Amino acid sequence: MTRQSSDAGEVNVQREKVDAFSERVAIAIKKAGGATLMAQKAEVSGSVLRKWRSGQSDPSRTNLVKMARAAGVSLEWLATGEGDPEGDAQAPRESPEPEFELDLENLEEVAAKVLAMLEKHRPDISARAKARIVRLVYEFYVRQGKPMDEASLNNVIELAAFRY
């Protein structure tokens, strides 16, 4: 049901319907550059991807969308086999554009406050978890356009720290 060009990186899908979901998954995997790349791009394990390809299980809606984006095929085609495989496909997302401009002075202020509070209340948290909490608080700060009050800051830190 597929026609491959001589270029190993390019997979051309014929416009006719590919009946079995597992066949469409196999095509999507080829278009994504192989199973390893598809798993990375769609943020799933290789074993889960193999189960979808073999028909042992079906992906969630979220994972179906990730797979379609990773392969650059239309979601409708991947899910149903109908429509143009290239129809409404979105280009694979390498790295998302930042939603805001980085303000280093405010980042430094947020980091200092958060780290001081974490040292005081939760010194057992790993450096990586601390960095994630700083990022979370900074993103909140940027979206709000103003610093968090102490009570809100404490609540966010406690919620985030509980997760880590």
Residue 87 lies in a domain: no
- Whether 163 shows a pLDDT value over 70: the answer reads no
CATH number at residue 28: 1.10.260.40
Residue 1 lies in a domain: no
pLDDT in tens, 19-34: 588 888 888 888 888 8
pLDDT in tens, 51-87: 888 888 888 888 888 888 888 888 888 888 887 777 6
Q: For residue 32, count CB atoms less than 10 angstroms from its CB and return exposed for 0-12, middle for 13-18, buried for 19 or more.
A: buried
**Same domain flag for 67 and 117:** no
With tokens 């319907």, the residue in question is: 17
Confidence band, pLDDT 50/70/90 cuts, at residue 164? low
Domain count, the chain: 2
Q: How many CA within 13 A on the CB side of residue 10?
A: 6
pLDDT in tens, 45-54: 888 888 888 8
Q: How far is 84 from 16, CA to CA, in rounded Å?
A: 8
CA proximity to 40, closest of 95, 97, 77: 95
22 Cβ contact list (under 8 Å, min separation 6)? 52, 53, 54, 55
Structural domain for 137, as ranges: 104-162
103 against 66, higher pLDDT: 66
Residue 74 lies in a domain: yes
- Whether 100 shows a pLDDT value over 80: the answer reads no
- Whether 139 shows a pLDDT value over 50: the answer reads yes
- Whether 113 shows a pLDDT value over 70: the answer reads yes
Q: What is the mean pLDDT of the chain?
A: 75
